[in-house]
Every structure is written in C-alpha cells, then in structure tokens.
Structure 1
Amino acid sequence: MSEEIKIYVADLAAYNNGKLHGVWIDATQALDDIQEQINELLANSPEDDAEEYAIHDYEGFAGYSVSEYEGIERAHEVACFIEEHGEIAGELLSHFGDSIDDAQKAIEDNYCGCYASLADYAEELTEETTQIPEHLAFYIDYEKMGRDMELGGDVFTIETGYQEVHIFWNH
C-alpha cells in the first residue's frame, strides 16, 4: 500500500477554545510511540491542563471509517491490518461490521482471489473441477453461474476497482 496510514489527533482543550492544535501520526507505529506523540501534543497545548484528545481526521484506511473516539489501540490495530493486507482489508472490515477476526479469517481461509468478474471465477472453478465435453462448452453461462453462487450465499464479493472483484467463500 503506497499511502501512509495516519490519524490526526486533536487537542480537545484547544479545540473547545477555538484553536486548532493537533498532529498527524503514523497509525502503524508502536502504540508507545503513538502515545508519546499524543503526550507531547498535550504538553505543548496552548491551553493549560490539556488532557483530552480525539481523532479528528484520518488517511489511508482503505474504506474503513475511523470514529472520533475510536481509541488509539483500535485505530492502531486496524491500521496494521490494512498495512498488512492492503485496500481489501478496509473493505472487509466494513463488510464484517468492523470485526478484525472475521476479516482476518476471510483473507486467510476463504479468499479465492481477484478476478475481472465473478463469471471469470465461476469459469475457472468449473474448468478446474469438471471435465466439460467440447460440444457443450459453448452452452455454459458463467455469468449466471457466478450470480447463482452469490445469490445462494456460497460466495461474497468486494469490488475495489474496474475489473477488480475479490471473491471469498462464505463459510
């Protein structure tokens, strides 16, 4: 993944007094390093006794929405997952309702690959598992097979771009 995965942490004492005071932090670095940067941010606050912070912006989270009060540990965990698996990781987190465990299982155990279409996957799967008589090959409708696989709940897809369909078994 080429884009840096980062969060913008804002000093809430300054923010509540109409001042913008915050810092962009690489969310994939060690938690202690992230916390150290936040502590430094609060120590350098234009307001006395600044203690609270919130995530006010983020970049590089590949379709995953980071909440203002996400928590540094969770933001770090998600960032590392996305750094490891790329754009598809953020989309999987959205698909699974933010469950990293389910998204991880899908990538490790149920990922079939990236295809131009679900029909391409249905064709490849059929040709790898079945001997099709040559005189019947032209009668097979792979688009309908792929649609039936998805409608039947056998697979789910995540589209990340033009002719970029990621296919996962649904078990």
Structure 2
Amino acid sequence: MSDIRIYVACLAAYNAGHLHGVWIDACGELEAIQEQVKQMLSSSPVEDAEEYAIHDYEGYGAYRLSEYDGLDTAHEVACFIEEHGSLGAEILNYTDGDFDDAKRLIEDNYHGCFESLADYAQDYTESTGSVPQHLEFYIDYEKMGRDFELSGDIFTIETAHNEVHIFSSY
C-alpha cells in the first residue's frame, strides 16, 4: 500500500449532512479503486447514492488535486508521483498537469540533482573540458550557474534543502 491516498466522499450523504467516505490507495489498480468507490456508495446512509467527489488527499506533494478531478486523473498523478517522488509532483505543477510535457522533461531535459547551481556549473565545466585545468581556480561557478538560469538555457526545481534539479529549457 502506498502513502498516496484519496478520500472519496458520497455527495448524497454530504448534502444530507453526513460524512460518509473512504480513504483509498490511489496507486492501486484503477478497477480496484472504482470498486471501492462503488462499495462506499452502496453503504451510504442515503438511499440510491450515485455521485462522489474527492474531498481530500495525501502524498501528492506539491501537486494540488481538485475535487473535480476524476479517479483516472487521481490514479495517473499518484502513479507518476510514486515513480518520480517529490520531483514528479513538482514537474506536474510546472507543466500544469500535462503528463506528456512532464515525461518529456524528465526523459529528455533532466540533467540531474545538485546541491546548488554552482555545483551544476562546475560539473558542466569539468565534464565538457571546456576550461583548461590551470584556469579552473579563476572561475566563479556561482555566477556561472546563475547566468545559465538567467539566460533561459536551464530552469531549476528545488525539492528540498540542497536538492536542486536542473533541466534544459529546450
């Protein structure tokens, strides 16, 4: 069972003044999620309950799930976050929930996680071998990293202290 869950509430019960719902593992099989919602609705204190809404969620990190998002979306987002961790949630925020863009950024534009932009600039310089070794001491990697970002060549997403994820903008 994952830590990514949704609370699905019965709208008929809610409108009648009752709190009736169930916490569901959002990373489970979609059919199992739908079955749990169906069982919750059938046990509603209000007869003939048919409608539900997602009233709460946990484990989605920075991503904000709407009560109007369907079970499919809640499940797809949960699985993406489970696969990519807090970075997945941040990427989905950055792309306004566009999974194709989020996947493209991670697969094609991701340069890794660094403690700072300066560390990225130093790694980039050393890996390209573009600066002779005897001149490396003269380089201000903090300014270089800042210039990378200000030029629009890269963008960053911070997921924690000393966790800067670097992506190329193109």
**2:32 counterpart residue number:** 33
**1:77 counterpart residue number:** 76
**Length-normalised TM-score, structure 1:** 0.95
Q: What residue identity is the alignment partner of 2:98?
A: S
Rounded Cα–Cα distance in structure 2 between residues aligned with 1:3 and 1:126: 40
Q: How far apart are 1:31 and its partner, in Å?
A: 1.1
Rounded Cα–Cα distance in structure 1 between residues aligned with 2:146 and 2:111: 16
1:87-145 CA distance string (max 9 Å, x none): 10000000111111111111111111110001100111101112533442222111111
Rounded Cα–Cα distance in structure 2 between residues aligned with 1:14 and 1:77: 27
- More displaced 10-residue stretch of structure 1: 153-162 or 122-131: 122-131
**2:58 counterpart residue number:** 59
**1:117 counterpart residue number:** 116
**1:165 counterpart residue number:** 164
**1:130 counterpart residue number:** 129
List alignment gaps of at least 5 residues for structure 1: none
Rounded Cα–Cα distance in structure 1 between residues aligned with 2:39 and 2:169: 45
Q: What residue identity is the alignment partner of 1:17?
A: A
Rounded Cα–Cα distance in structure 2 between residues aligned with 1:42 and 1:132: 66
Identity between Structure 1 and Structure 2 (%): 62
Rounded Cα–Cα distance in structure 1 between residues aligned with 2:140 and 2:58: 42
State how many pairs are aligned.
Answer: 170
Rounded Cα–Cα distance in structure 1 between residues aligned with 2:8 and 2:133: 62
1:21-49 CA distance string (max 9 Å, x none): 00000111111111100000000000011
Rounded Cα–Cα distance in structure 2 between residues aligned with 1:54 and 1:95: 25
Q: 4+ runs of 1 displaced by more than 3 Å?
A: none
